[in-house]
Amino acid sequence: MNDPQFEFVVDGRPVAYRRNGMTGKPKILTRGGEIPLDRVLDPFTHFSLRLSKANTCRVYDSEVVVEKTRPLFLAAFRPSSFRVLVNGELRAGHVG
């Protein structure tokens, strides 16, 4: 399984986004530790009719929003697109 992984910069420091394909758990990794973006035990994490989802958290005194957009048909078998906004400014994009 090809789990989405990509890096971006917040306040001049490297930050990474990881998502486990088996559990659906997305997280942001910093030098200080990991920040969970969703609750794995919440059923709406795994089952949703929405095509877009945004997760917001604070990293190094900045607001980080990770937007995930999935395709309409056969979403489990096709790559999703991700956008990362730091304080409202686009910092990274990824398809995978």
Tokens of 44: 């709406």
Which pTM value belongs to this model? 0.79
pLDDT in tens, 38-55: 777 766 665 667 788 888
Give the per-residue pLDDT at 96: 75
Cβ partners under 8 Å of residue 32, min gap 6: none
Which of 4-8, 17-21, 28-32, 46-50 has the largest mean confidence? 28-32
- Here the CATH number for the domain that contains residue 18 is 2.40.128
pLDDT in tens, 10-27: 888 899 988 887 777 888
What is the tally of structural domains in the chain? 1
